[in-house]
Structure 1
Amino acid sequence: MSEHWPNSGVDLHLELNATTGRQSGLENALRTAIRSGRLAAESRLPATRKLATELGLSRGTVRAAYDQLIAEGYLTARQGSGTTVARLPMHQQDPPHPGPVSDRIRHDLRPGGPDACAFPTTAWLRAARRALTSLPADIYRYDDPRGRIELRTALTEYLGRSRGVLAHPDHIVITNGYTQALALLTTALGENSTPTIAMEDPGADFHRAIARHHGAVIVPLPVDEHGARTDLLTDPEFTTIDAVEVTAAHQYPTGATLHPQRRHLLVAWARSRGGLIIENDYDGEFRYDRQPVGAIQGTAPDHVAYVGTVSKTLGPALRLGWIVTPPRLLEPVIEAKRHADRHTESLGQLTLTELITTHAYDRHIRASRLRYRRRRDLLLDCLRPWSTGPRSTLSIHGIAAGLKTLVRFDSSELTEHQTKRVTAEFDLAVGYLGDRWHTPGNHPQGIVLGYSTPPEHAYPAALEALTHTLRALHRTR
């Protein structure tokens, strides 16, 4: 029989086998829970009187079962401390189930996120307290699939002044980051047919996987030093596409900015074909050597789904993003969101609202921009011996903005396989350009360095490991 003890200080599910006798059944159930790890070492067990009451056993039966397990070494009992689970030698414990293997990385320069240690904890807590003290009565109920009106209103003002986005609160849908935003848009596009989406090549491989998972056919759109080749959209192979996804302000992973003429061509394509532009503005807040590039959405709001998140400004774990949706796709996107998870959690939305409306979010971004610019400059100092002069072996791309830099190798003799081997020798993790192409082949080689990733104290050691890696690669040529 299955029993619980809900009123004894701990909750634990036990399977008591009535055919083996009451005491033996309890002993076996406790042994199984300890061996399997469901009862961890030093967990405190209920008092014999409480457990007996909960399980419908006599107190003497429970005391006898405890005594037997104490004698076997499964439990310990101390005066005044009650009965607890003993620490068993390893050979007495069942082997744990294998979990995911995590990389043991000493120096992390992979792209993808901000310095997690720089999260504005004090400002976030202050904003959360203000939000909690003025919560509306409906906060703990199911909400509008689009998200809290407070956040959508705050985003309308913020995106307008900082990114040139033309938005209305009714047309914003709050999402759980960019991946859900892309999934919702793909689902909305495929409401009546299989959608075909052109995606940058090279680009984010996981985003391609998300779109495919939600039913899209993916067509690679080449990228060069001027960004996505939107001049190709009139070619026959692109005549059937429904949408184009672009990282126009700072292409991932090359760092190129979409050339103004190509922006015009992209908008012209959308207007003439009734197509959708999915604008992934993943790090538009971070500009160092040039003026910010405004969003394409501001020039064609009826044809652009503008997507932004706090993943690069605050942290991806918050799972907060947004779509500024063109009117024709609003209802399909809302319906897709309703069926995906009903709505994004509300407390985080209201906390972010407080950050934005008090301008604490702006202050954090400005501080982050200064910190990441300094880190970028240190990275450039590290790369300079190999990127300048007659003996240069690499070129640097995308340094004017963002949180990463693409380093391309000038020598065809140097392969990514060699690079991976050498970086592993120095416990250094980086991104690889080869992983970002749509199909395997003879593509340019390179590494993508995320200078925002390490904590502040670990950044100098990461750069030192990178220096050792580049020296070793230079000798490999």
Structure 2
Amino acid sequence: MAVSHTNSAWATLLDVGSAERGRRHDRLARALRAAIRDGRLAEGAAVPPSRALAEELGCSRWVVTEAYGQLIAEGYLSARVGSATRVSWSPDTAPAPPRVRSALVPQPIRYDLAPGLPDLRAFPRRRWADAVRAVIGSAVHYDLGLPDPAGHPVLRTTVAQYLRRSRGADPQAVFVSAGVTDGLVRTCRALHADGITDLAVEDPRWARLWDAAASTGLRVHPVPVDQDGLRVDDLARTPARAVLVGAAHQFPTGTVLSPERRARLVRWARKVDGFVIEDDYDAEFRYDHHPVAVVQGMAPNRVFLLGTVSKTLSPALGLGWLVAPAGLTQALRAANPVAAAPPVLDQLALATFIDRGWYDAHLRAARRRFRARRDLLVRTLGAEVPEGRVAGTAAGLHILLHLPDGTDTRGAVRTAAVAGLRLADLDDYRATPSAERALVLGYGNISDPEIPPAVALLRDVLRERP
């Protein structure tokens, strides 16, 4: 237990015993010595000033100075003029045996080509701090009370306006969530309470979302994806009345749901009296033309829309949104009554960040940066890994690298980790096995100068393995 001089819980920490056990300064010295020897007071920790400890223990200052003096003489404490008295002793410990570095032990990650993160180096620290300061100065007292489980009305209004102008959405009811997973769990619970028992999910898919849906009691059914997105004909052959789909940019295949499939998906939802759950997680990043509008705008009474700033700003913020059909507002409020909303001040900071135009400015800069980074990655792969074929729309934060039949992609991922390169195997996102060999390569959280050596390392790993 490392204790600083600001920690005054010493009456609890030290058992000085009763008067029958000797003079008080001797008892205090024994208690401090025991606390040091058993590690409750670590080497380097500052003990309180003698006056403060005497007040805490209800004794005279002389008792404390005598105890400190005894322990200084014994080497347990050290004191310097103008500085705190500190612990100068630690229990003897045997030196740790030298670590033998095995070829199978992963090294620290040098290059991160796994998907899932934005450019964390580019987080807009100054403007986010400005937004937080503005909120602290302007928040009224009732903003600091118990938060509305649906989210602060200011952020809900701001998100609705943002989605209407940027994503072509028709927000009927907006809820603030802690991210896509949180929004999906709430949606699945509301649907389950409404009598829906089966949910279809794209295959391949984010395994975390599959697990989150299954945790709510729904039966989950994989539906394959092809070059036009979700195969609606296969969806119609399942017992599902709800489906989770990435229409603007499917993960991990990178496909975009075609206009014809969009229309058929909406018709399917109406026919089965069901719902579409649209995961809009990185749709702001489209590099060949403007982002495709959301399916939610086509049928707002049949489509839930999930969004987050985890892929645009940072997952550390824990902020997202859920747009729901108006008729299911009460079911969503009741879906998880004990779940806490994200911190109100963070919600208001995000609203300020969007309202002042800083979010749009951040996205414009990020699109330019990611487009150039994606182009660099594709060019470098073409030169260094010519046997690979890049797939996926020019969008988002990842690409799919198809490799020749028989490539041991799983082994390549393990070998790369040992060498300090993080990769992802497409098989890790599949619900059903496939002979297709591919790697999912993310370029969000790697810098431009790191791409050439990362791809060179990938080339070497692939050449080492059949």
Structure 2: distance between partners of 1:31 and 1:226: 72
Pairing 1:335-350 to 2, within 5 Å after superposition: 335-341=334-340, 343-350=341-348
Structure 2: distance between partners of 1:248 and 1:325: 17
Matched, 1:10 2:3: no
Structure 2: distance between partners of 1:320 and 1:190: 24
Q: Any conservation in 2 of the 1:255–1:397 contact (CA below 8 Å)?
A: yes
Counterpart residue number, 1:449: 441
Structure 1: distance between partners of 2:363 and 2:133: 21
Structure 2: distance between partners of 1:90 and 1:461: 44
Pairing 1:51-450 to 2, within 5 Å after superposition: 51-86=53-88, 88=90, 91=93, 104-168=108-172, 171-191=173-193, 195-235=197-237, 238-239=238-239, 241-341=240-340, 343-385=341-383, 392-412=386-406, 414-439=407-432, 441-450=433-442
Q: Any conservation in 1 of the 2:16–2:27 contact (CA below 8 Å)?
A: yes
Q: 1:74-100 deviations in whole A, cap 9, x for unaligned?
A: 422112213123363761899xxxxxx
Q: Any conservation in 1 of the 2:106–2:420 contact (CA below 8 Å)?
A: no
State the percentage of identical aligned residues: 40
Counterpart residue number, 1:473: 462
Structure 1: distance between partners of 2:80 and 2:274: 73
Q: Any conservation in 2 of the 1:194–1:215 contact (CA below 8 Å)?
A: no
Q: Tell me the SS of whatever aligns to 1:405.
A: strand
Structure 2: distance between partners of 1:36 and 1:118: 45
How many Å apart are 1:121 and its aligned residue? 1.2
Q: Any conservation in 2 of the 1:186–1:211 contact (CA below 8 Å)?
A: yes
Q: Any conservation in 2 of the 1:186–1:195 contact (CA below 8 Å)?
A: no
Residue 252 to residue 349, structure 1, CA distance change in 2 (3 Å): same
Residue 129 to residue 53, structure 1, CA distance change in 2 (3 Å): closer
TM-score by length of 1: 0.87
Structure 2: distance between partners of 1:269 and 1:25: 80
Amino acid at match of 2:145: R
How many Å apart are 1:110 and its aligned residue? 1.3
Q: Tell me the SS of whatever aligns to 1:138.
A: helix
Structure 1: distance between partners of 2:33 and 2:393: 60
Structure 2: distance between partners of 1:360 and 1:347: 17
Amino acid at match of 1:329: L
Residue 127 to residue 38, structure 1, CA distance change in 2 (3 Å): farther
Structure 2: distance between partners of 1:279 and 1:202: 16
**5+ residue gaps, structure 1:** 95-100
Structure 1: distance between partners of 2:337 and 2:248: 30
Structure 2: distance between partners of 1:70 and 1:193: 72
Counterpart residue number, 1:464: 453
How many Å apart are 1:192 and its aligned residue? 6.0
Q: Tell me the SS of whatever aligns to 2:7.
A: coil
Q: Tell me the SS of whatever aligns to 2:187.
A: helix
Q: What is the count of residue pairs matched by the alignment?
A: 451
Amino acid at match of 2:324: T
Structure 1: distance between partners of 2:202 and 2:92: 51
Structure 2: distance between partners of 1:117 and 1:268: 43
**Range with greater deviation from structure 2 (317-326 or 122-131):** 122-131
Amino acid at match of 2:398: K
Q: 1:352-405 deviations in whole A, cap 9, x for unaligned?
A: 111211111101100000011111111011111366xxxx42211124100111
Residue 89 to residue 320, structure 1, CA distance change in 2 (3 Å): same
Q: Any conservation in 2 of the 1:111–1:431 contact (CA below 8 Å)?
A: yes
How many Å apart are 1:112 and its aligned residue? 0.7
Give me the CA root mean square deviation: 2.8
How many Å apart are 1:407 and its aligned residue? 0.9
How many Å apart are 1:250 and its aligned residue? 0.6
How many Å apart are 1:62 and its aligned residue? 3.1
Amino acid at match of 1:430: L
Q: 1:95-149 deviations in whole A, cap 9, x for unaligned?
A: xxxxxx9972111111111111101112112222222222123111013221111
Q: Any conservation in 2 of the 1:172–1:323 contact (CA below 8 Å)?
A: yes
Q: Any conservation in 2 of the 1:231–1:262 contact (CA below 8 Å)?
A: no
How many Å apart are 1:326 and its aligned residue? 1.0
How many Å apart are 1:57 and its aligned residue? 3.7
Q: Tell me the SS of whatever aligns to 1:277.
A: strand
How many Å apart are 1:64 and its aligned residue? 4.1
Q: Any conservation in 2 of the 1:14–1:30 contact (CA below 8 Å)?
A: no
Q: Any conservation in 1 of the 2:198–2:221 contact (CA below 8 Å)?
A: yes
Q: Tell me the SS of whatever aligns to 2:381.
A: helix
Amino acid at match of 1:415: D
**5+ residue gaps, structure 2:** 97-104
Structure 2: distance between partners of 1:226 and 1:108: 29
Counterpart residue number, 1:98: none
